[in-house]
Copies of this chain bind each other. A is one copy, B any other.
Amino acid sequence: MEIISGFSKLSKKQKLAWLAAQIAERQSDTNQQEFIADFESYQHRDPKVQKLYDEFSENTLTNFYMPYGLVPNVLMNGKLYAIPLVIEESSVVAAAAGSAKFWLERGGFKAEVIDTKKVGQVHFLWEGDFKKIDVLFDELRELMLDNTALITANMRARGGGILDISLVNMTEVEPNYYQIKATFETCESMGANFINTCLEEFARTLKDWAANSEHFVGREKEPLVVMSILSNYTPECLVRAWVECPVNELGYFEEMPPEMFAYKFSKAIMIAKNDPHRATTHNKGIFNGIDALTLATGNDFRAIEACGHTYASRNGKYQSLTDCSIENGVFKFWIEIPMAVGTVGGLTSLHPLVKKSFEILGNPSVKELMELMAVIGLAQNFGALKSLTTTGIQKGHMKMHLLNILKHFEATENEVKQAVEHFKNNVVSFRSVRDLLDLVRIEQPIA
């Protein structure tokens, strides 16, 4: 690769041409026209639609395809949903669909939003006596509210806005370190831009106020704002979802009686509560479902992941986000997870397939979406634990894996049939499938 200046200013065609030339420089057998055509084959046929996608991000070359799938039959709080999931991993949609069907016959999922508070912070250094600024803080808070009144007008009209502004003394952590910590209600939006705009205004207000306050002298007049930024950790923007049924209605899993299944399931949860090695994988499975719905609804899965995992470590040890109980013959399984999402703003009104997702979900409110997120995470976790504690996951996975490898080798229908039969009792690997296909292709196909 060579250094290039002004890459972002090039047209998409020029960017691709530069890249193709760079690749050709390295691999002389590169057909540059083909390289470019391959990328262009992923463009939307309508240039206006394509332009939309190009402008979501920067230096865009084309669209990366992610499978957009559907999980029908999800019963939540007595209402039936079909849930769109965007996920590149096999088995996730199938597992969610399996869990949805299982619980459909047992009363469905229940869910409720516990709270919807968002958090933001202005971090600053200030050399002075804490008591002095603490006493004056009511004055500063009023000023902050006044100075953001214009910014918050629309949000207040919708029932949201700034809930609280407080001063936090962090000098035990670091000399002179303080925070202005604020909580927000952002209604139907995720609220990042709203919160950050408020916070940057708080920071300006703080500096002006300190500079002009008659109570301060010298360095007291010069707080140093390190940064003003929302927190993605929102433990008070919290949702709970659960399922329950009598143990004996859980049914048989192959030859495993329901009591044994419930017992093993509860031990799997116990392990994920106590062993961070297991908890990581346990929660990873939960996010398989949540991230897929997050993508489908144009929300930000990095924010939701970071928040959920910090929440999982809140007791000083990284733990499972789900829990279960078996009491008086009743099996109960639940999740409690912070979930800062939006149904307006950001990509939600811009990405055409995100708009379709909302249509499929019946244009849910933000609370309903939070609940659906928790439900799909719980469904996913139930599916994973059900497989793990009964047949093991490799049976299903290796079947998918085998089909993927066969696809790679462009196996015919007949070859697929023979391979599936063969690998019922043999270990699937890239090489073993290739070897089998070599064999099958040299001999005559049996049927």
Contacts and interface: CB of A to CB of B under 8 A. Distances in A.
Given A3-B73, A310-B318, 13 more contacts: A62-B68, A63-B67, A65-B66, A65-B351, A89-B300, A174-B270, A174-B274, A181-B277, A193-B397, A196-B397, A227-B271, A302-B305, A350-B408
B427 A197 contact: yes
Copies in the complex: 2
Contact of A281 (B87, B232, B276, B428): B232
A67 B73 contact: no
A276 B314 CA distance: 9
B72 A67 contact: no
A302 B291 contact: yes
A362 B23 CA distance: 8
A154 to B, nearest CB: 5
Contacts of A347: 88
Contacts of A167: none
A354 to B, nearest CB: 9
Interface stretch (A119-127, A327-335, A439-447): A119-127
Interface in A247-303: 264, 267-268, 270-271, 274-281, 283-284, 287-288, 291, 295-296, 298, 300-303
A230 interface: yes
Contact of A310 (B233, B271, B276): B276
Contact of A68 (B60, B229, B296, B302): B60
A369 to B, nearest CB: 16
A56 interface: yes
Contact of A67 (B60, B193, B428): B60
A392 to B, nearest CB: 5
Given A64-B67, A268-B226, A287 B306 contact: yes
Contacts of A64: 65-68, 86, 295-296, 353
Interface stretch (A36-44, A133-141, A206-214): A36-44
Nearest to A23: B359
B119 A277 contact: yes
A288 B229 CA distance: 16
B267 A394 contact: no
A64 B42 CA distance: 11
Interface string A234-252: 0000000000000000000
